[in-house]
Amino acid sequence: EEEGADLPFFIQYPRSANLLLVILYAGVGILYFVTVLGWSPETSFYAVAQILTTVGYGDLPFGEVKGFVTAYVLVGLAIVANVMNDIFNEVL
């Protein structure tokens, strides 16, 4: 039997799992902004990119969904921090 074959995907392939997690998380944000706020996919992608990179130009009105955006930012920061940690561990 192959060693580690019964380990979960995210342990066997942490970089792939992190990439998949970021893509899925961004997709959830884009889908939410498109469906709830009625933004275009491009504007929604722009908003998610601002959130995940912590740029935050302040040019998008999140008015009625501040609760979701707050939670989305906090979880997103944790995901991005985890990904950056894995990248730095590989490089250093």
Torsion of CA 35, 73, 54, 15, to 10 degrees: -90
Q: Is 53 left (phi over 0), alpha (psi -120 to 50) or beta?
A: alpha
State residue 23's pLDDT score. Answer: 93
State residue 2's pLDDT score. Answer: 60
Q: pLDDT tens digits, residue range 21-31?
A: 999 999 999 99
Checking if the pLDDT of 42 tops 80, the result is yes
Q: How far apart are CA 27 and CA 21, in angstroms?
A: 10
Q: How far apart are CA 27 and CA 33, in angstroms?
A: 10
Q: How far apart are CA 29 and CA 53, in angstroms?
A: 14
